[in-house]
Amino acid sequence: MSSTAVARNRAELAAARAGLGGTVAVVMTMGALHAGHIELVRQARKRADAVIMTIFLNPLQLGPGEDLAKYPRTFDEDLKLCIEEGVDLVFAPSPDVMYPNGEPGIRVTAGPLGNLLEGASRPGHFDGVLTVVAKLLHLTRPDLAFFGQKDAQQLLMIRRMVSDLDYTCDIVAVPTVREADGLALSSRNMHLSAFDREAALALSRALMAGEAVSAEGASAVRRAAREVQIREPLALVDYLVLVHPDTLEDVPEWYRGPAVLLVAARVGTTRLIDNVPLTVGRVPNAGSGQARA
């Protein structure tokens, strides 16, 4: 395609998708695009011959107290960015296109992982995420699907779903994009006042403090992160945890190896999440003759 096509329904999507040759990638969004989404597109462009972006504000993944009406809707601006980045096809369905029979009675269930961390605070959230991702994978039929590492729990469960349900696409993780001061990019940042935004920096600063001492072990990581976090009382922390990347279980104090340090907090009226992958404990050099942890 020489320009960005826009599909609003299944028939338009199928016709446009049939015209895409070679390797096809998809980037799934709820709109309100920012530089983090654009980085997903750019990484997809490096790996694929054609890129599809989906823009769909999914009501199934909004939990109690989350107001669908307040979510930013910026389709015209989003489409302009897609055109500038050379997205081949934008699929922007309405809820009645995605859920033609109304709220679906059968959904993808996140299982035990969906009840941890974000799932504990947002009941049903991950069932809604996985259901829409499953449907969009069926409809767009990509070879590759790109997701940001900022949503670490979501990324893990999408990978599990793709593996467990035998999807044929590969899931590609893209590192978190941050502002110059460290704040992770999120569509929710637009709800932060200047005062709240300063307080929100406690999240990334806590993560960076933990990462800086990761070679000293799990206790040092947790202690350093919490010491930074408690200095900002306006960031009301839901959780600040050091977990195994495959299970989301807290890593024990003796653990050495890959882990993820995750934080969620409410700043003003806005809930923010962030994380950093790291390696806990000192790992011997490859040339030392010792096995790597």
Strand partners, 271: 266
Between CA 116 and CA 107 the distance in angstroms is 19
Could you tell me the strand order of the sheet in which 270-280 lies? 235-243, 257-267, 270-280
* Residue 220, token pair as written in the block: 């040092």
Between CA 132 and CA 91 the distance in angstroms is 13
**Residue in the block written with tokens 């009675």:** 105
Between CA 259 and CA 214 the distance in angstroms is 10
Q: Based on the residue annotation, tell me whether 37 is a catalytic residue of this protein.
A: yes
Between CA 250 and CA 185 the distance in angstroms is 26
Nearby residues of 257 by Cβ (< 8 Å), 6 or more positions away: 279, 280, 281, 283, 293
* Residue 143, token pair as written in the block: 């070879």
Name the catalytic one among 34, 37, 125, 244. Answer: 37
Between CA 97 and CA 111 the distance in angstroms is 27
173 contacts 154 by C-beta, under 8 angstroms = no
Catalogue the active-site residues: 37
